[in-house]
Structure 1
């Protein structure tokens, strides 16, 4: 179990969140509102993909992905979501507030929502977003976690300007910028990938179920010093895997770790220490990859997507993450994928931008996180 950090210098979260006693009433557009249920998944999928197409977003979702949202036990759609239906019973707007059970350094509430393109300009989005912000404040206030807190919303850089204006008028400010990158894999003879030799007892292996938990621990350690990142609980790590491509994923293990030195290292977290004492495998670098076939037509090419990539902090500089990434890229190419794709925080502390550029990745589009910090 991760230890929740405390911030004694902060005012109580209930005070900082400034939660309203009641949520705003939704009246714009004459829609009928209620909480979402799992039975709404098909209608929600259609609405979300319609919005994505209208806003030129570079992805589409599948029914399996939407169903997976409802299956996660920490999501409380009964109180943290709202759907708006027109007089004919068609879904025309949705809003959802999500918090994560593993947050130990910053308590986060993310807002997801949108309005059908045919119903924009009626004030629905403005009222809906106000409802989401108010609900996020209630959730944070009731959390009992005395941590720094954040209400966040994501936006595509080239999305509708009206969305950015809505967010900024509500007090949200841009905090982080992300670049979606791709690397051409169609002619590796003309543009070869470099070879990497791992040192010591490090060994590159295909991802396997037996190494899944060790990979989660490596990920939590690798991202511990990344802005906005929080540990994944086992429950979180196992969810959201509808696009997971284990056949494309790779990890680097240390076959003979210096257990004494790692246990004495202040960077070694409690869960990793317990795994080391138990003699469990130690994953030190990893590339977990995804296959989004529904996006091939949208982007106009086939690709493999690196969802998470990292190296344990004590192993940085030994090319473990690079080895896993290159193996992934070769797996994509072997399966006929035209490109390798990934998303990177432009202020990543590991210098990932430079690494990806050296491998031939170039930017295709960008997105940002806007937030209210509490």
Structure 2
């Protein structure tokens, strides 16, 4: 196996960050109190770009207040002479990374101030700061700097990312499944000691452990800490969410299975419930007018690797779709990595999900 150079060497972090002079703006770090201005600018940009979503003040506040955020050093806001917010730049560092240490850059420029070179300089600042963060992490692991874009974002944005050395690395499909025909919704029978139950706070950590296990072999996925798992749930719909528990797990076999992670093993020894599959969903009502229909959105869906083939995730998803329909939603919506190793894309197609939008991740791999 090729031995990586120390991350401090690979990151090639600059000693000082590049200045942002384009646009003649006034710059400072963000605070949680900026949530309203940040969300207003975000939605102005989304509308101009034809994005199929909008952000709420609760989502923006939760994002800015996430306990792993370091806004003082990892964010910038650009204001014009009238004090109006015109640019946002954020860098996120997920706290639970174990196999790849990651940084993600978010933000944008008000449509009226585009074409002045501000975006290029802001992106250069973000990439330089991301390199500093990676170098200081002390994690001698593979590293990534990533940004996301909708496939139909302005072409100038895609060119800007490519010019900065970011390469399109992963592609995602946003899928829709109409719910106008109750008879077509799937019925799933679970076998053995598997049982479908509504999501509850008591099962939330067990669902997190199941998620970490389910996505352990997915590209770009890292274990989520409990603070990550529960952060940003302002639109979470517990009444639409379901888990599948194993009432009589083979604890000895699971403990002997090399695929069983340490956190799950500890929970099994403690007699904690074992979640085999899960579907956690949200109600993004602010998106309904943009898309022209109401929908339930599946944020996370998966099955533990030892339980694949036993329809645990399918049962949770089917229950979710029925809950959406019972509440009058017109459709079920979710996103999937087009190269998902579990064959999820084919499963969704068989259930009637059809692609509506696409997005991608650009990255620099270090």
With structure 1 as the length reference, what TM-score do the two structures score? 0.97
Deviation at 1:194, TM superposition (A): 2.4
Equivalent residue for 2:97, pick from 100, 103, 106:
103
For 2:181 and 2:191, the matched residues in 1 are separated by 29
Equivalent residue of 2:91, what SS? strand
Tell me whether 1:364 sits opposite 2:364 in the alignment: no
Deviation at 1:8, TM superposition (A): 7.8
For 2:235 and 2:266, the matched residues in 1 are separated by 31
Equivalent residue of 1:364, what SS? strand
Structure 1 gap segments, 5+ residues each? 1-6
For 2:106 and 2:146, the matched residues in 1 are separated by 9
The answer for the alignment partner of 2:214 in structure 1 is 222
The answer for the alignment partner of 1:293 in structure 2 is 285
Tell me whether 1:154 sits opposite 2:148 in the alignment: yes
Q: How many residues align?
A: 366
The answer for the alignment partner of 1:34 in structure 2 is 28
1:328-343 superposed matches below 5 A = 328-343=320-335
Deviation at 1:38, TM superposition (A): 1.3
Equivalent residue of 1:112, what SS? strand
- Post-superposition CA distance 1:128-176 (Å, at most 9, x none): 0000000000000000111000000000001100000000000011110
For 1:112 and 1:47, the matched residues in 2 are separated by 13
For 2:180 and 2:98, the matched residues in 1 are separated by 43
For 1:313 and 1:187, the matched residues in 2 are separated by 32
Give 4+ residue runs of structure 1 displaced > 3 Å after superposition.
none
1:300-315 superposed matches below 5 A = 300-315=292-307
The answer for the alignment partner of 2:365 in structure 1 is 373
The answer for the alignment partner of 2:250 in structure 1 is 258
Tell me whether 1:11 sits opposite 2:28 in the alignment: no
For 2:260 and 2:3, the matched residues in 1 are separated by 26
Equivalent residue of 1:310, what SS? strand
For 1:350 and 1:73, the matched residues in 2 are separated by 32
With structure 2 as the length reference, what TM-score do the two structures score? 0.99
Equivalent residue for 1:179, pick from 173, 176, 188:
173
The answer for the alignment partner of 1:320 in structure 2 is 312
Tell me whether 1:241 sits opposite 2:233 in the alignment: yes
- Post-superposition CA distance 1:322-349 (Å, at most 9, x none): 0000000000000000000000000000
Tell me whether 1:52 sits opposite 2:52 in the alignment: no
Equivalent residue of 1:357, what SS? helix
The answer for the alignment partner of 2:126 in structure 1 is 132
Deviation at 1:310, TM superposition (A): 0.2
Equivalent residue of 1:142, what SS? helix
- Post-superposition CA distance 1:202-233 (Å, at most 9, x none): 00111111100100000000000000000000
For 1:365 and 1:166, the matched residues in 2 are separated by 21
The answer for the alignment partner of 1:210 in structure 2 is 202
Deviation at 1:243, TM superposition (A): 1.0
For 2:211 and 2:148, the matched residues in 1 are separated by 22
For 1:25 and 1:19, the matched residues in 2 are separated by 15
For 1:16 and 1:227, the matched residues in 2 are separated by 21
- Post-superposition CA distance 1:46-84 (Å, at most 9, x none): 101100100111100011111101221110010000010
Structure 2 gap segments, 5+ residues each? none
The answer for the alignment partner of 1:119 in structure 2 is 113
The answer for the alignment partner of 1:21 in structure 2 is 15
Deviation at 1:124, TM superposition (A): 0.5
User: How big is the alpha-carbon RMSD for the aligned residues of Structure 1 and Structure 2?
Assistant: 0.9
For 2:271 and 2:186, the matched residues in 1 are separated by 33
